Each structure stands twice: as C-alpha cells, then as structure tokens.
A and B are shown apart, each in its own frame.
Chain A
C-alpha cells in the first residue's frame, strides 16, 4: 500500500475514529426513510430504479422467449399483450425517465455546483416517495388484472378495454409529479446554489444537461398529467373528447400524448448525453472539445423537441402540411445532436485515453448512439416512415436510443461515480468483461430487428409468419446474452459493497467539484465551502496526489 501523505496539514482530532461521511453519519432505518440528504435520497432512487429495471428487463426476456417460435411459445395473445405493455410502461415511466436524474443526478449535481444539498430537500424526498407511490400503483394495476394498451395508452382502445387503465393512469400521473419535483429542484439549485466563482460556463456539462432536462420535465410533464387524467375521466364519466362514439377525436389524444412523450424522449436522453460529456473528458484527460456548443445544443434540443411530436403520427391522419413541418423539424433536431456526437469523438481524439470500464461503456455508447440517432433520421423522412411505421425497425431504433444509449450511459455513470458514492471499487476485470457481453448481446438483440422491420415485421404482434423466424431467434439469443451481461454487472457491483477494495480519493482524476469533496462525501458535502478559480475541465489543476490516496 502506498503511503502518500497529503501535502497539506489535515487536522485530525481523533485518529482512531473513521471519518464521518453521509453513509455513517446517522443510523437506523428512519434516518434513511426521512432523510433530506440528496445523496441518501439518490441512493434510495438508485435502489428503486434498479429494481424497476430488473423487473422491466425480466418482462423483456419473457417477450423475447415467447417469440422464439412463430406461434409463440409461452403465453396466450392476451397475456403477451400485457407482458409487452408492462415491459414498456415499467422501463419508460419507472426506469428510464427517473433513472439518471433521480439517482446519479441527485447525488452528483449538488456536488458539482458546490452546494450542501439541493435547493428544496423536502421536495426532493417527496419526489422519491411519489416515485414509490407510482411504483406501488403500477404493481397494483398488475394485480387488478393488468393492462394491455401498450405504454402509449392510445385512445379509443384505452377507453374501451376492461383492464386497470385508471390505476396505471394514476400511477403515471403521480410519477409525473415525481419527475416535475426533481426537475424543479435542479433548476432552482443550479440558479441559486452555485459556489462562488462557478459561473454558468464553468459548470460541468452534466449540470448543463440536467438543467435542460429539468426544463423539459417541468414544461412537458403537466401535459401528460392532464392527458392521463382525461383518459381516466373518459373511463369514469365519458367526457367524450377522445371517444369517437361521443363526438370526440382519438387523434387529439395522440397529439396530447406526444406533446409530452416526444420531449420525454429528451428527458430520457439528455442526462445520458451529460454523463457521456463528463466521461469522455475525464477518461481522455483532455478538455472537452466544443464545451459551449455542447451546452447550447442541450438547450437547442430542449426547445426543438417541443416542435416535433407530430413525427409519431405520420400515419394517424394529420394534414399534409403539418407532416412536412414535423418532418423538417425532426431533421433539424438532429443537428444539435450530431454536434454533440462529433464533439465527443473530437475529445477522445488524441486524448490520453484510459480504457477502464466507464470509458468502455462510453465508447460503446458512441457507437450505438450513432446508429440509434441516424436511424431516427431515416424514420423522420415522411415517405420512408409510411413503410416503416409500427414495424420492428421502429422498435430497434428506439431501443438503440433507450437501451443502447441511455441505459449504457447510466451504467457508464454508475461505474464512474461508484467509487465516489461508496468509497469502494468493483472488480475492474469483471466490469470489462461485462461491457463486452452487454455490447455484443445488445447488438445481437436489436440489429436483426432492423432487418426484419425493414422487411415488414410489425411490432407488438404475438405471432408471426415463419419467414421471420431466424431474425426473431437471433434476437432472442442476443437478449439472453444481454441479460447475462447485466446479471454479471449487478453481481459484481453488489459484492463490491462488501468486499471491494478501497477506492482512491479521486479515482479517475476528475477536476470538477464532485471529485474535490472527500470520498465518500460527508453529510454537508464539503469540509469548507468551495470556491472555483479554474476553468472547467482544466486538467493542469489536477491534484495527482488525490489519485493515489485511498478514500478515508
């Protein structure tokens, strides 16, 4: 063990006692359930979204196993409809939307801005409990007979079907508030609690990305809230606005739904962009290429994302002119996204790249997201979309973004901040093996879906014609590989908490404030209120000693 003593004098009153951090500063279950500490709330979120991800993943595996044979292997068609709906609803509303802001964002954002907590800690705790209530309601909806509408709840089917749509609708309503509270908190925190010297253009890009995300959460989610309420009212007292029998218009539902759910795609992906921005610079030990471009492209995406919802409805019956506009704007949103992708690649180029597990996830992201993004441009073209709409091509596209990009960025961030959060390191060798398994499994699952989708395999079908069997079987094998990679990851991450080596004070050599507080952070994050004097990502300011010193 190296015995590098820190160069400055550290006043240690009782050398025998372990340093107090946020994990051991108070004990007992109530000190967690009632905590206002953003790090503890973030950890509770991490556990929650982790379980939601595993549940959603289990549903996905069931879907893939069922599709091993053309006639379906496991379920009746009705049950199959419920299983894929559960997969979509769990993954979207309980995992992908809250995952990064709720867990990593909650833990890291106040550290990055040099604050003692988020601006509104009670609201933060409330946000977690709303998430929990939403999860309980979702579970209740399953017990009450499930729901088979798909995660999009399209009217009029969601009005006519005799399943627990009201219950799952209420779950989504409550989850929406949870999301709003997190976003609101982050906006106020970034505006009001930045450390002295931390100007807007010294903010780490994860903060910029979460800020843009928060704007979307606050401004888009209420529309989803009123939409699911209106569906509930349709079922309860037949208000009639989405019900064609009563003179209503189901396409209006689609407009309302996608007015939220397209920006929601960016609620999901912008935090992932933020993590990748952070990781490419730290693990390449090189200032980020195009810092301001990436920061502003997040805001540009946030604005444009409100104007493209109609591209989900090219076959639903809109005016032709509206379709032109939506198609054009969809191409437009690709520009800020491409700016990010190029800037990341330019950052890695000629950097001092450390190929550790967070960076491997990041590189996997860069490849997968290029495919996911470009297939989105293909789908945004009107004439092509008319053929590809509601096929597996769409399924493959959004899984390349949602699973391949967002979940992988989440894993990348988790591996990156794991030593900071827990003060312990996982097994790097196993981690690298898991990245490879996940990358291979992911592509094996979804590349065949592009092919079969372009050949006409419709999404959401419980059965299919035998011609598609090779693609489906390849996809199912890929899903099993992917699942085993994730199982390996969960296993070594959890064991690292008990047997993991002590992490370094600054494991990867980051220079943002999240790496300047003690590891793991104390209850109030910093021993002294920090002041920022360096530009962001200025690696000349890196304290190499902190990379050798064990966390206390």
Chain B
C-alpha cells in the first residue's frame, strides 16, 4: 500500500464560512489527535514552569541571604502599576476563555473579537511594563544604556546600577534585587510577546474558518499558554512588588 492511497479522516465544517479539518495520517481518530495535542502541550507547560522554577529558586535563596535588600528593593517598585498590570492580565485571561469558548461553538466573529481583546491586553501590559522600566532607568536602578558595559573590577561598580538617589546605599548588594527583577520580568515579558504572537496566528486561522466546533485544538492550546503567562505573573507580582 502506498501512503498516497491512505484515506484521511475528515472533520466536516459546520457551515460555509468554515473549512474541513483533515486529521493527520498517523492518527486513527479525531479524539486521538485532540488528546495527543493536549497531553503534549501540558507537558510543555510543565517545562515552562520548571524553567521559571530556577529563577524562583534563585529569588528565594537570595531573599534569604539579603532580606533587607529585597524588602527595600521591593519598595522601589510601584505596586500600583504592578496591580494594574495584574488586573490587565487577569482580564485578558477572561477574554481568552471567552475566545476559546466562542471557537468551540463555531462563532467566528465573537472568537475574533475576544482574541483581539486579549492581544490588546498584552499590548497594554507591555506598555505599562515599559513605563515601569523607564522609571527604574531614570533612578539609576537599571540603566539600560549601560546594561552591557561590563563590571568595573577596580571600583567594584556595575555601570548599570548607579543608584544616584542612594536609596539602596544602606543594604548589601543592592543591584541583586534589580538584577533578579529585570531577569524575571524580562523573561516573562518575552513570554507575553510570544503569547500575543500566537494569538494573532490563531486569529488568522479563525478568519480563514479553520477553527470550529469540530476542530479548535490550536485555539485551546494557545489559550492554555496564555493562562500560564498569566499564572506566572500572579506569582511574580507579590514576590517582587509586595516583598514580605
């Protein structure tokens, strides 16, 4: 038997504005495809959590070693901005859920609106993040222009951490908090951008009518990814902005 002779399983489109879905040749049933995709994606999410796990471990370790630095450092962040961003992400998780639900019920227009709103949430989040980074830049706590200038062995100074208001002068290794803050939020921010790009990608698929009650797996998986991005921020916010 030649592989060209293989008859693929087709999931019919529910209406003229949708297209059929062809189940890949190595799956016997649509359910198998759906479950395989789901299980694989949950495993992928586990790797993401472990990746951040390393950063959280570093955070907790140095919080233990330099508690004053972390408490004082946390006070330099604007908790109102952080809370606003938390609300934005939570709201966008809701629009994401509604988007997935609309795809599952073959409501193309509604899916596009909800997914679009989720992307808007991502954009707002990144704008607020940009404003926060700018404030840190102004106070010399993270000077982005000098981020890669190296370490001055002679003076023991980090060019990106000048702290010209002297707010961290009384605690040891004041840069440590901001280094961890920057690393964690930047890696999270990259995830926000990737998540937004993925949502835009499923929006194109939605516009072409690829996703409907019979086949919505990619929308579902991108939704899971977006919730993970949200979830990680839920942990980052109190740890960084409301340091105990």
Contacts and interface: CB of A to CB of B under 8 A. Distances in A.
Q: Do A and B bind each other?
A: yes
Interface of A: 20, 25, 115-121, 123, 180, 184-185, 187-189, 191-193, 218-223, 225-227, 230, 233, 236-241, 245-249, 252, 256, 522-524, 527, 529
Contacts of B160: 237-238
Given A221-B47, A252-B61, A237 B2 contact: no
Interface string B6-40: 10000000000000000011111000100111011
A184 B50 CA distance: 14
Contacts of B36: 119-120, 188-189, 191-193
Interface string B151-180: 100001010100000000000110110011
Interface string B30-61: 00100111011001101110111111011001
B147 interface: yes
A170 to B, nearest CB: 15
Nearest to A37: B3
B185 to A, nearest CB: 13
B48 A187 contact: no
B150 interface: yes
Contacts of B37: 120
A529 B29 CA distance: 13
A337 B188 CA distance: 40
Size category, B interface: 35 or more
Contacts, number: 127
Given A116-B26, A117-B26, A193-B26, A247 B39 contact: no
A22 B53 CA distance: 42
Nearest to B1: A527
A79 B183 CA distance: 34
A222 B26 CA distance: 29
B62 interface: yes
Contacts of A237: 147-148, 160, 179
User: Interface SS of chain B: helix, strand, loop or mixed?
Assistant: helix
Given A192-B39, A241-B179, A25 B3 contact: yes
Contacts of B25: 116-117, 524
Contact of B48 (A117, A121, A222): A222
User: Nearest 7 CB-CB pairs, A to B?
Assistant: A247-B173, A226-B54, A117-B26, A222-B50, A116-B26, A239-B179, A222-B51
B66 interface: yes
Contacts of B175: 240, 246
A119 to B, nearest CB: 4
Given A117-B26, A226-B55, A522 B151 contact: no
Contact of B46 (A117, A118, A219, A522): A219
Given A192-B36, A237-B160, A219 B50 contact: yes
B40 A119 contact: yes
Contacts of B62: 241
Contacts of A220: 50
Which of B47, B58, B160 has most A Cβ within 10 Å? B47
